[in-house]
Structure 1
Amino acid sequence: MDTIDTLDQLEAIYGTPVDASIVKEVPRVTDQYRAFIEAAPFVALATAGPEGLDCSPRGDLPGFVRIHDDKTLMIPDRAGNNRVDSLRNIVRDPRVGLLFMIPGSGTTIRCNGRAVLSTQPELLASFAVNDKPPRSVIVVSIETLYFQCARAIVRARLWDAQAQVDPKSLPTAGQILAALSEGRVGGEAYDKAWPARAAKTLW
């Protein structure tokens, strides 16, 4: 297998970036980027730690990522499975990457920066939903912010209803857990209980 081992080899294949790919990158939230961030109900959070890399999905009501100022974003950490892989990484390595996605839009927004975790009571209370505050808030200091063109979304037909996969054609969470635990965890009972359990723990 031929591999690319140097930057010179890489640049010989890909050349140099076009002007638009450079101009779009800024160190702050602009009015245009604000519109996308405030409309996004989903962001992928990438982190790094001693054990390796992690990428975690974060979803909530549109605008759940708060623009505190043009250099700072705030993300509530909602109820989950308590693995805290991303949070564990942030405590030890503040570097983060964010990818914002908006249903129906091919344009995604990318952000790189550094994060800390806040448990300030007033801040937690300000993010409460149904009287349930998050246990922490991820505070991101922006270093770079830019949009990604729509090619990947278009190729994937991500928002095309005709391209959607029937969930019944895929293994369920209960089936995956049962297979990996030799039946100790998961199974049909897990799948049946999940909708009610999720409804109680979304926030």
Structure 2
Amino acid sequence: MPDHSITSLDALSALYPNPVAPASVAKEIDHIDANYAALIAASPFCLLATMGPEGLDCSPRGDKPGFVTVRDAKTLLIPDRKGNNRLDTFKNILSDARIGMLFLIPGYGETLRVNGRAELSCDPELCGGFEMAGKLPACVIVVKVEAAYFQCSRAVVRADLWNPAGHVDRRTLPSAGQILQGITARNTAIETFDGEAYDKALPERVKATLY
């Protein structure tokens, strides 16, 4: 069979011969300006991409709109909220500071991409500025911005992402309990997992452990 792998820049360029649109280059800046700050302030959800010795990770972060704070044009602050304690993102940052962020805003087609370098801080004063429901984050991710640019709306439009009519009926997909039960059932070293009980307790557990 012929090999259709793309293994060189020349081969890649042959597939995409059109020059980059000027706007695609002009929209990238090395800081957060007033317009990009407005997008971050409106966003309740972002994805963090990191890498480290154990591999790649892309983790969701979400809270009230504006939970990511623009401290200044070159610095973003992300409070850590209660999660699963896998610490994949944090372990990666400790070994490789590079980070990529993708901000989404419900009802808004464009997304915002931010690349930079991150560090972790447990400074009491810094954490104190992110108190929610009487609880403080264990630490704050401090991101030094190196590049920021918006992504056009084509992907969101194609996905019809914000259309409520496209929302999936959860009953048509496996639940968290069913997924865990299926995985543990294939591992004889793990005790039998009660997926139904897990699903029944999950909504209240999530509600009680948001912060």
Q: With the length of structure 2 as denominator, give the TM-score of the two structures.
A: 0.94
Q: Give the 3-state SS of the residue equivalent to 1:38 in structure 2.
A: helix
1:195 aligns with 2:208: no
Q: Which amino acid aligns with 2:130?
A: F
Segment of structure 1 superposing worse, 156-165 or 36-45: 156-165
Q: What residue in structure 1 maps to residue 14 of structure 2? A: 12
Q: Runs of 4+ in structure 1 displaced over 2 angstroms? A: 183-186
Q: Give the 3-state SS of the residue equivalent to 2:150 in structure 1.
A: strand
Q: Which amino acid aligns with 2:202?
A: W
Q: Give the drift of 1:185.
A: 3.2
Identical-pair percentage: 54
2:192 pairs, out of 178, 184, 188, with 184
1:30 pairs, out of 33, 37, 40, with 33
Q: What residue in structure 2 maps to residue 44 of structure 1? A: 47
Q: What residue in structure 2 maps to residue 150 of structure 1? A: 153
Q: Give the 3-state SS of the residue equivalent to 1:127 in structure 2.
A: coil
Aligned residue pairs total 203
Q: What residue in structure 2 maps to residue 71 of structure 1? A: 74
Q: Give the 3-state SS of the residue equivalent to 2:180 in structure 1.
A: helix
Deviations 1:125-179 (A, max 9, x none): 1101011111111100000000000000000111011111111100000000011
Structure 1: gaps of 5 or more residues? none
Q: Which amino acid aligns with 1:13?
A: L
CA distance in 2, matches of 1:186, 1:176: 11
CA distance in 2, matches of 1:57, 1:168: 23
Segment of structure 1 superposing worse, 7-16 or 40-49: 7-16
Structure 2: gaps of 5 or more residues? 186-190
Q: Give the drift of 1:186.
A: 4.7
Report 1:131-150 matches (<5 A): 131-150=134-153
Q: What residue in structure 2 maps to residue 120 of structure 1? A: 123
Q: Which amino acid aligns with 2:197?
A: A
* Distance change in 2, residues 1:185/1:93 (3 Å): farther
Deviations 1:16-56 (A, max 9, x none): 31100000000011111111000000000000011111000
Q: What residue in structure 1 maps to residue 169 of structure 2? A: 166
* Distance change in 2, residues 1:67/1:11 (3 Å): same
Q: What residue in structure 2 maps to residue 55 of structure 1? A: 58
Larger radius of gyration: 2
CA distance in 1, matches of 2:81, 2:25: 35
1:85 aligns with 2:88: yes
Segment of structure 1 superposing worse, 57-66 or 5-14: 5-14
Q: Give the drift of 1:184.
A: 2.8
Q: What residue in structure 2 maps to residue 101 of structure 1? A: 104
Segment of structure 1 superposing worse, 146-155 or 124-133: 124-133
CA distance in 1, matches of 2:140, 2:194: 31
Q: Give the 3-state SS of the residue equivalent to 2:131 in structure 1.
A: coil
